[in-house]
Chains A and B, each alone.
Chain A
């Protein structure tokens, strides 16, 4: 399809009547450029996601992939690396013909990200793709590099004018972390927004691509029975847990500079909190949903230095046991400085000061080397006002608890009281379980498959807006700063345990942490 002069790209287009009823909506022809193309994320997640999209016939009709990285190599060598990564990490065994078809349109541009010649070569490569396709191609720049390179790459894309295209859309996809502090996030937003419109920026939080996280909104807003209870009148407290049973593994260098708060709470767990606490949006378009999430963040008071010790706890794992094996403590892990004060566990108590949630604590905790891997949201309801049963019979009565498990074994569980069979009225808690795996035939796609497709289609609903990022940092930054200024050593918890005992200090009287 040769580029015809005067194509009516700017005129309002008629609707495409052929897309009605199709499960897979068209994705515009696109060149996807991955900066950091030989990195871990590209190899483990992005390339396998692209293969699986190709396998399902879900890539655009015309699709070109350009890898950019520092190492010098030929196109063919990069294709071979892509093939190896896909064969190793794809969720399904690759079909050789499909893989060949995908790799045919893969190119590689070597060089450092601050080198003007890289962007000249990249421009030439994208022009060649358009010539081959015979039509303008949307551009999606995926920044899968160390965060320090984000402003460098975006700046060069602007200088080289690759961020502009007269006949197609240009988008910039940015991996987390989006800054390591509020100041950095603001500065990064300024730099990125100097080149791209907010509508062209797709900040990835891959949790939002998970089916079960998306289902939180379906659960809340498609079921009449929960929303009337979803407020301070009926809910006692909310706990959000993201526990890992593994240690830092090979990520010691990154993790030691980040810590648990930056790694999980500032982004993923804040997103979960927003989805639990947000008001029903008027509709489910990107702006409406994100407006409601920002309102939640705005309602959380910024921690003051005097508050932090009462509302935040950090700790580090010591030696212990996991999976029947002895495991080292954090400070003994390879690549971790022996005097590191980086937290591997963080717990917060936040308040959402609005009409719906005033007085309801939101407890967030995350950690490595805990007893089990689980991500869940537990909503504990207030106890019933009066128990008419005899004292003995009431002993087992506990408040109802609704648990939304994000991973593993995604599902919803409701704890209710039930009578133990027998002649006496004795109550004990039982669970009503709903498990996703038992109720649907389809397999959930990987989060990155969904997110890459949405970015290419121009749907930002599952991406984080600039004010969301800044709102998250506004809450976390004072805690990070306070912790950075406070010398160690940190409280310790045994590897494979429930976490530090200090975390109980965050809880109100009567509240308890759920067993991990």
Chain B
């Protein structure tokens, strides 16, 4: 699929002028070719430090079809006095003739400290009315997110990016009272949650869900929050009572309490893991069954053993999504609702309190 861009830019501009430019570019694109249509799925407002605009643009470019239909990048440079803007309307040409060509819009607005108090009045005219809006501030700037939150239905964050994992989860919980939170740390656990759920879906093993005796999650050193969310998910789904984990020899350990037994919980760092997220999970049951899942080439490596069974080891195929894939999935999730995140977050916060 090829792409052509129509660009407008202006220094010392206003939101009205930017919005007018968007309309003009869309009309021109449609007049040029009848089969082009603007995508109307999702607004995304991104607040970034100006120096990192290029890096963020690259990350968003990589998400491919999950790119928001209208992206508004608020590029922040503290001492900037003037509002400058660049509007790009991209036509994504179809591979086959006769198919529709999609238009996506990107608006980059460069602004400074003096604009922060009125930030909402700059962003509001630039989003498409009636479309859901996702807010993302990858470099912190919590106060800015708070200011823009009334414009958004969903907030994208990554709990593993925050310096303190307990604070990160508290922040996610606070935001979730005002908008739907899409946490990339949670999405990194999706394949693991799917696989653990599927393993225990086997009829003869399902009753043992109530007999889990230990859970160990291996994670990137900076991804404690993702590990805690995975255990939090098990705890909330299986009605465990979580308690605070304590640091011992570089790992967090503790116990959760089920109606029939306690569950040993361990969050171990896996320094060998090069990317944020999880390296593996081991789940044991009181009946002596043990399931271990680890990252491997081409999927998850599974090992299963039991008191009366032979050990089995195999690969469950699945391609790694990579960080770009996780970000794309985060954008897609802004249109969905996962009812299991908040309960998992609650238990994860208890464990990391």
Residues of A within 8 A of B (CB): 1-2, 4, 7-9, 13-14, 16-24, 26-29, 54-57, 59-62, 95-102, 104, 133-135, 372-373, 408-409, 433, 435, 437-443
Stretch at the interface among B6-14, B45-53, B76-84, B316-324: B316-324
Give the CA-CA distance A21 to B206 in the complex, in Å: 18
B198 contacts A7, C-beta separation under 8 Å: no
Please name all residues of chain A whose beta carbon is closer than 8 Å to the beta carbon of B38 when the two chains form the complex. Answer: 438
Closest chain B CB from A429 CB (angstroms) = 16
A134 contacts B312, C-beta separation under 8 Å: yes
4 closest A-B pairs by CB: A97-B298, A57-B318, A21-B340, A2-B309
Give the CA-CA distance A26 to B204 in the complex, in Å: 15
Instruction: Name the contact of A55 in the complex, choosing from B98, B204, B317 (C-beta under 8 A).
Output: B317
> If the complex has contacts A97-B298, A134-B309, A437-B100, are A16 and B200 also in contact, measured as CB distance less than 8 A?
yes
Within 8 A of A (CB), among B278-321: 297-300, 302, 304, 306, 308-310, 312, 314-319
Instruction: Name the contact of A98 in the complex, choosing from B204, B209, B319 (C-beta under 8 A).
Output: B319
Please name all residues of chain B whose beta carbon is closer than 8 Å to the beta carbon of A442 when the two chains form the complex. Answer: 65, 332
For residue B41, CB closer than 8 A to chain A, the reply is yes
For residue B40, CB closer than 8 A to chain A, the reply is yes
B99 contacts A26, C-beta separation under 8 Å: no
B304 contacts A9, C-beta separation under 8 Å: no
A1 contacts B237, C-beta separation under 8 Å: no
For residue B274, CB closer than 8 A to chain A, the reply is no
For residue B203, CB closer than 8 A to chain A, the reply is yes
Please name all residues of chain A whose beta carbon is closer than 8 Å to the beta carbon of B297 when the two chains form the complex. Answer: 97
Stretch at the interface among B111-119, B158-166, B188-196, B263-271: B188-196
Give the CA-CA distance A62 to B65 in the complex, in Å: 31
A1 contacts B304, C-beta separation under 8 Å: yes
Give the CA-CA distance A70 to B179 in the complex, in Å: 59
Give the CA-CA distance A19 to B204 in the complex, in Å: 16
Closest chain B CB from A237 CB (angstroms) = 27
Other A-B pairs beyond A18-B200, A28-B202, 17, CB < 8 Å: A4-B308, A7-B203, A14-B210, A18-B196, A18-B237, A21-B341, A23-B336, A24-B194, A57-B194, A97-B298, A97-B299, A98-B299, A99-B298, A102-B317, A134-B304, A409-B100, A433-B37
Please name all residues of chain B whose beta carbon is closer than 8 Å to the beta carbon of A437 when the two chains form the complex. Answer: 37, 39, 99-100, 102
A-B contact list, 29 entries, CB within 8 Å: A8-B204, A9-B204, A14-B206, A14-B207, A18-B234, A18-B237, A20-B237, A20-B339, A26-B201, A29-B202, A57-B300, A57-B316, A57-B317, A57-B319, A59-B317, A61-B195, A95-B298, A97-B299, A97-B319, A98-B319, A133-B312, A373-B98, A408-B98, A408-B99, A409-B99, A409-B100, A438-B37, A438-B39, A441-B66
Please name all residues of chain A whose beta carbon is closer than 8 Å to the beta carbon of B196 when the two chains form the complex. Answer: 18
B319 contacts A55, C-beta separation under 8 Å: yes
B102 contacts A438, C-beta separation under 8 Å: yes
Please name all residues of chain B whose beta carbon is closer than 8 Å to the beta carbon of A133 when the two chains form the complex. Answer: 312, 314
Instruction: Name the contact of B314 in the complex, choosing from A14, A54, A62, A441 (C-beta under 8 A).
Output: A62
Give the CA-CA distance A408 to B98 in the complex, in Å: 8
A57 contacts B201, C-beta separation under 8 Å: no
Please name all residues of chain A whose beta carbon is closer than 8 Å to the beta carbon of B21 when the two chains form the complex. Answer: none
Band of interface residues on B: 35 or more
Please name all residues of chain B whose beta carbon is closer than 8 Å to the beta carbon of A100 when the two chains form the complex. Answer: 298
Closest chain A CB from B129 CB (angstroms) = 15
Instruction: Name the contact of B317 in the complex, choosing from A20, A101, A372 (C-beta under 8 A).
Output: A101
> If the complex has contacts A98-B319, A437-B102, are A18 and B299 also in contact, measured as CB distance less than 8 A?
no
B306 contacts A2, C-beta separation under 8 Å: yes
B41 contacts A439, C-beta separation under 8 Å: yes
B39 contacts A18, C-beta separation under 8 Å: no
Closest chain A CB from B124 CB (angstroms) = 22
Please name all residues of chain A whose beta carbon is closer than 8 Å to the beta carbon of B201 when the two chains form the complex. Answer: 16, 18-19, 26, 28
For residue B174, CB closer than 8 A to chain A, the reply is no
Please name all residues of chain B whose beta carbon is closer than 8 Å to the beta carbon of A373 when the two chains form the complex. Answer: 98
Give the CA-CA distance A229 to B340 in the complex, in Å: 39
A441 contacts B317, C-beta separation under 8 Å: no
Please name all residues of chain A whose beta carbon is closer than 8 Å to the beta carbon of B339 when the two chains form the complex. Answer: 20-21
Please name all residues of chain B whose beta carbon is closer than 8 Å to the beta carbon of A55 when the two chains form the complex. Answer: 317-319
Please name all residues of chain A whose beta carbon is closer than 8 Å to the beta carbon of B200 when the two chains form the complex. Answer: 16, 18
Write the chain B residue with the least CB distance to A19: B197
For residue B338, CB closer than 8 A to chain A, the reply is yes
Closest chain A CB from B208 CB (angstroms) = 11
Please name all residues of chain B whose beta carbon is closer than 8 Å to the beta carbon of A62 when the two chains form the complex. Answer: 314
A1 contacts B238, C-beta separation under 8 Å: no
Give the CA-CA distance A437 to B100 in the complex, in Å: 8
For residue B335, CB closer than 8 A to chain A, the reply is yes
Please name all residues of chain A whose beta carbon is closer than 8 Å to the beta carbon of B39 when the two chains form the complex. Answer: 437-439
Closest chain A CB from B320 CB (angstroms) = 8
> If the complex has contacts A16-B197, A18-B196, A55-B317, are A8 and B306 also in contact, measured as CB distance less than 8 A?
no
Please name all residues of chain B whose beta carbon is closer than 8 Å to the beta carbon of A13 when the two chains form the complex. Answer: 203, 206-207
Please name all residues of chain A whose beta carbon is closer than 8 Å to the beta carbon of B308 when the two chains form the complex. Answer: 2, 4
Instruction: Name the contact of B331 in the complex, choosing from A8, A29, A56, A441 (C-beta under 8 A).
Output: A441
B41 contacts A440, C-beta separation under 8 Å: yes
For residue B199, CB closer than 8 A to chain A, the reply is yes
> If the complex has contacts A29-B202, A443-B65, are A1 and B309 also in contact, measured as CB distance less than 8 A?
yes
Please name all residues of chain A whose beta carbon is closer than 8 Å to the beta carbon of B37 when the two chains form the complex. Answer: 433, 435, 437-438
Write the chain B residue with the least CB distance to A134: B312
For residue B71, CB closer than 8 A to chain A, the reply is no
For residue B42, CB closer than 8 A to chain A, the reply is yes
Please name all residues of chain B whose beta carbon is closer than 8 Å to the beta carbon of A14 when the two chains form the complex. Answer: 206-207, 209-210
Please name all residues of chain B whose beta carbon is closer than 8 Å to the beta carbon of A61 when the two chains form the complex. Answer: 195, 198-199, 302, 316
Within 8 A of A (CB), among B227-286: 234, 237-238
B42 contacts A21, C-beta separation under 8 Å: no
Please name all residues of chain B whose beta carbon is closer than 8 Å to the beta carbon of A409 when the two chains form the complex. Answer: 98-100
Instruction: Name the contact of A134 in the complex, choosing from B310, B315, B335 (C-beta under 8 A).
Output: B310
Give the CA-CA distance A350 to B30 in the complex, in Å: 40
Please name all residues of chain A whose beta carbon is closer than 8 Å to the beta carbon of B207 when the two chains form the complex. Answer: 8, 13-14
Give the CA-CA distance A307 to B37 in the complex, in Å: 46
Please name all residues of chain B whose beta carbon is closer than 8 Å to the beta carbon of A18 when the two chains form the complex. Answer: 193, 196-197, 200-201, 209, 234, 237-238
Give the interface centre of A95, A133, A372, A373 by most chain B CB atoms within 10 Å. A95
Give the CA-CA distance A355 to B157 in the complex, in Å: 54
A101 contacts B209, C-beta separation under 8 Å: no
Please name all residues of chain A whose beta carbon is closer than 8 Å to the beta carbon of B316 when the two chains form the complex. Answer: 57, 59, 61, 101
Write the chain B residue with the least CB distance to A96: B298
